[in-house]
Structure 1
Amino acid sequence: MSDQDVEILAIGAGPSNLALAVALEEMAPGLARKSLVIERDEEVSWQRGMLLPEALSQVSFLKDLVTLRNPRSRFSFLNYLHATGRLNDFVNMGSFVPYRLELAAYLRWTAEQLKLVGVARGKECVAIDPVLRDGVLTGWATRTADGDTIRSRYLVVGAGRDPRIPEPLLGVAQERVIHSTQYLQRIAELRKDLPYRVTVIGAGQSAGELFTSVQSELPECRPTLVMRSIGLNTYETSKFTNELFFPSFVDEFHAAMPEARARILAQMHHTNYAGLAPGTMDSLYRQVYLDRLSGRSRLRMITMHDLTAARDEGDEIVLELTDWRSGTVQELRTDLVLLGTGFAPQMPRMVRRIADAVGVDEVAVTRDYRLVLDRPATAACYLQGVNEATHGIADSLLSVLAPRANDILQDILTHRAAHLTEVQAPLAAA
């Protein structure tokens, strides 16, 4: 076990905190040398469970970690392609959206290119405690699973939201339930020659991808797609609507009244949720069409049904599905449940624990993503990717990575300058 003092500790080496690390290296090298990113996995990745061979990103490559802040940066996606000898191939493909595998490789490459900001892999955060002196918050003490303690003045949480698990499935054998975040790792552990009955829950992009992928990953399986909606829909992709994903819209959204924000989010729901990319939709429909044409009847879809109960029965799970048109209940027996249900809208458990520890009843952040505290403080905590309600629907996506990193860094620099005397004091003494 060992202790370590840093000025900035960023939890999670995903796109959000890597964008911040890049901003630190380019704009505040002195502070970068006192900064650390910790990642619980042994390697830096992104959407590890859904790195399917043909899955495309839904966001332009220009919305990478840095380009919208600094188009000349050596950390850009284009420079990654150039450095790895793949720029001509990507240009020739003629697409603004890279494959998901490419973006994951770009993130790994970026982490390796960092020279000043430390990146510690295999470091899982298990607890975060506020450091108080005479009632003033002066820092944070983060404990990791290997017994280390990392003390920091600034904490940046970018670990993502918690997976959404439908309540009826919380009480069944979890070895037969796989959320999309764990799909590839866990599906690889299963035998390929068994005729699994597979149920996919959801009506969005991840559910569509799971339904398609499992047909090849488990060649003998018979998948059923279950959804509450009347059918599958494509994302709303109007270029006019997409302007609401511009970084400049964050200011406009943040300044709106709370009821107006809620109304905007409701109207933008189908730009990011409960929909499929047009290419995925077309491919999926062709699969169903050919299945019907062949007479095999391997693929099945159940629409307009709620999952109302679930139980274990021997080696299978019995799902209770209620038709919300008639109230009729049917049972669906299955060997494996795949969840394309996305992420819980509530603040992640890690954020709620931090808030509880400092006595914050309701989590709120400033325009610059700083957690609002109800006590004097010379330290601060920043939240990335969980502020949709106050910063707009793009907050959980790649669209605002670079500008948001700039906002957070500028706020940290301003905050440090305002507390210069305290900043110079040894953190360990706080």
Structure 2
Amino acid sequence: MVRNEVEVLALGAGPANLALAVAMEELAAEELAADTFIAEAHENVVWQRGMLLPWTQSQVSFVKDLVTLRNPRSKFSFINFLHSVGRLDEFVNLGTFTPYRQEISNYLQWVADSMSRVRIGYGKRALSVAPIWNADGQVDGWLTRFADDTETLSRHLVVGTGRDPLVPEQFAGLPADRVIHSSQYVEHIADVDASAVRRIAVIGGAQSAAELLWAAHQEFPSAETTMVMRSIGLKNYESSKFTNEIFYPSFIDEFHAAAPEARDQLLREMHLSNYGGLAPGMLETLYRQRYLERLSGEERLRVITMTDVVGTRVEDDEVVLSLVDRRTGRADELRCDLVLLGTGFRGTMPALVRDLAAELGIAEITVDRGYRLQLPATDGASCYLQGVNEATHGIADSLLSVLASRSGDIVKGLLTGRRTVPALAEIG
């Protein structure tokens, strides 16, 4: 087992920790940047890896990149990326604020490749994180073990690995080759034998489910594609200019200071601004396709609303979904060859964070306004959580909108709490 030592270890090279890397290079170049290491489980940086389809676009303005809202003069901006790769004129001529996901993904890799001080390591999947205790029962640092038989000792830890995929329990028992979550669609759909698929069921009623429906409809031109959802129908995102003010970085202070019942109300009312709706273009595409198919009499795209999937089984080499109509209580069955889950991600903390909290003896995982995990006792060590704090920091916490400001907050917190400490080897 090879052990490395750094002052700051960040897990995951997604947008959250790449924004942190930019903030390190701009705000802590002399103090922390060179002793910061980002560990990425994959061999490259890809945004929304499972759903990186060629026609998909971001629903967020390119101005909300990794840095612009914190430092509009930064060399790490999306605009400078376009200029650097010779595509700025073409993008301007495209006339949109919402780039294709592939272009954002390319931007993120460009930022990762542009780091001069912060180091990024690929193929480093974290298996566990354990606190290091001193003689006084205080946390001195963290020991992270990776799947490549290495471990890293750090004073500070930043977790930016995202949430765990939500696979509803009724689908958990299906064979792995019969069910694909949206987070793994691109990777696993390539292994599916198209000639063996005649019917595809898509579960969910928001953007990811709609994208799965359209992708499967295009990729399997001979198959019927059926979306099953609990709601009354597909809806637009709530995206009025008034509503969009909740995505301002300045709104975080207002949300964080609100009473618990007010936070709950805000999260409920803002659900359609991120989770429960679709982009207008996707809605239009699906509706027109369904209309054209009904017009031609060859209907391949179907939508079943207000229906629960209460069970699943495999029978005669078919996946059978047991359905219940929420309006009438009527039971029915839907037979298919493949199930695609657009069911999103778990609202709970990621498993790695929950396991760490158990080691620390923390019953309730909470962070302060600066995203620092509340530890029982610490002697200079800290742990920051990115993208999993909606309950305390608002619905924008998992989105691109607040990346620039949040990374600045975390770096400033690290610098403020920094002090002279023993060499890391001494606390191992």
| TM-score, length-scaled by structure 1 | 0.97
**Helix, strand or coil at the partner of 1:23:** helix
CA displacement at 1:162 relative to structure 2? 0.6
Asked if 1:332 is matched to 2:331, the reply is: no
**Match in the other structure for 2:415:** 413
SS for the counterpart of 2:195 is: coil
Indicate yes or no: 2:290 matched with 1:288.
yes
What's 1:234 paired with?
236
1:30-179 alignment, distance < 5 Å:
30=30, 31-134=32-135, 135-179=137-181
Shift of 1:399: 0.2
Separation (CA, whole Å) in 1 of partners of 2:174 and 2:95: 46
Distance 1:117 1:217 in 2: 40
> What are the equivalent positions in structure 2 for 1:376-415 lying under 5 Å apart?
376-415=378-417
Three-state SS of the structure 1 residue aligned to 2:361 is: coil
**SS of residue in 2 equivalent to 1:399:** helix
Whole-angstrom CA distance in 2 between matches of 1:317 and 1:270: 31
Distance 1:43 1:376 in 2: 34
Give the equivalent residue in structure 2 for 1:268.
270
1:182 maps to which residue? 184
Q: Is the contact made by 1:12 and 1:37 (CA closer than 8 Å) also made in structure 2?
A: yes
Q: SS of the residue aligned with 2:340?
A: strand
Give the Å deviation of 1:413. Answer: 0.6
**Paired residue type of 1:18:** L
Helix, strand or coil at the partner of 2:246? helix
Aligned residue in 1 for 2:325: 323
Whether the 8 Å CA contact 1:130–1:357 is kept in 2: the answer is yes
What whole-Å deviation, never above 9, does each CA across 1:130-175 have from its counterpart, x for those lacking one? 0111111000000000110100010000000011111100112122
Aligned to 1:13: 13
Whichever residue aligns with residue 340 of structure 1, its letter is G
* Distance in 2, Cα, partners of 1:392 & 1:103: 24
Work out the CA distance in 2 between the residues paired with 1:299 and 1:379. Answer: 54
Q: Which residue of 2 aligns with 1:428?
A: 425
Distance 2:138 2:196 in 1: 60
Deviation at 1:421, TM superposition (A): 2.9
Amino acid at match of 2:34: R
Q: Distance in 2 between matches of 1:224 and 1:299?
A: 6
SS in 1 for 2:252: helix
Displacement of 1:192 in angstroms is 3.0
Tell me which amino acid in the other structure corresponds to 1:242: N
Deviates more, 1:214-223 or 1:283-292: 214-223
User: C-alpha separation between the residues in 1 aligned to 2:356 and 2:46?
Assistant: 25
In 2: Cα distance, 1:133 partner to 1:403 partner: 33
The reply on whether 1:217 has 2:219 as its aligned counterpart is yes
Once structures 1 and 2 are overlaid, which stretch shifts more, 369-378 or 175-184?
A: 369-378
Tell me the CA shift for residue 317 of structure 1. 1.4
Given that 1:194 and 1:220 are in contact with CA atoms closer than 8 Å, whether structure 2 keeps it comes out as no
Taking the aligned partners of 2:393 and 2:222, their CA distance within structure 1 comes to 45
CA distance in 1, matches of 2:381, 2:318: 51
Paired AA for residue 240 in structure 2: S
- Indicate the residue corresponding to 2:279 in structure 1: 277
Contact 1:194/1:221, CA 8 A, preserved across alignment = no
Would you say the 8 A contact 2:217–2:301 is kept in 1?
A: no
**391-400 or 181-190: bigger deviation:** 181-190
Percentage of identical aligned residues: 56
Post-superposition CA distance 1:107-138 (Å, at most 9, x none): 01110001111100000000111011111100
Aligned residue pairs total 425
Q: C-alpha separation between the residues in 2 aligned to 1:217 and 1:41?
A: 26
Taking the aligned partners of 1:125 and 1:263, their CA distance within structure 2 comes to 36
Q: Deviations over 1:160-219 (max 9, x none)?
A: 001111110011212211001111111111223344210000000011111111112122
Partner of 1:367: 369
CA RMSD of aligned residues (A): 0.9
Q: Tell which deviates more after alignment, 61-70 or 187-196.
A: 187-196
Are the aligned partners of 2:197 and 2:337 in contact in 1 as well (CA < 8 Å)? no
Cα distance in structure 2, aligned partners of 1:324 and 1:56: 33
Partner of 1:28: 28
Q: 1:410 aligns to what SS in structure 2?
A: helix
* Mapping of residues 196-211 of structure 1, within 5 Å: 196-211=198-213
Match of 1:244 in 2: 246
After superposition, give the CA deviation of every residue in 1:16-41 in whole Å (9 maximum; x if it has no partner).
Answer: 00000010011111311000000101
Hey, what's the Cα distance between the residues in 2 that align with 1:150 and 1:218? Answer: 45
Structure 1 distance, partners of 2:392, 2:318, is 43
| Partner AA of 1:421 in structure 2 | T
Q: TM-score, normalised by structure 2?
A: 0.98
Cα distance between partner residues in 1 of 2:196 and 2:420 = 66
CA distance in 1, matches of 2:232, 2:162: 30
Work out the CA distance in 2 between the residues paired with 1:214 and 1:342. 17
Counterpart-to-counterpart distance in 1, 2:311 and 2:281 = 33
* Structure 1 Cα separation of the partners of residues 42 and 182 of structure 2: 17
Between the aligned partners of 1:189 and 1:172, the Cα distance in structure 2 is 17
Once residues 276 and 107 of structure 2 are traced to their aligned partners in structure 1, the CA distance between those partners, rounded to angstroms, is: 28
Aligned partners of 1:203 and 1:145: how far apart in 2? 36
SS of residue paired to 1:363: coil
Do the aligned partners of 2:15 and 2:403 also contact (CA within 8 Å) in 1? yes
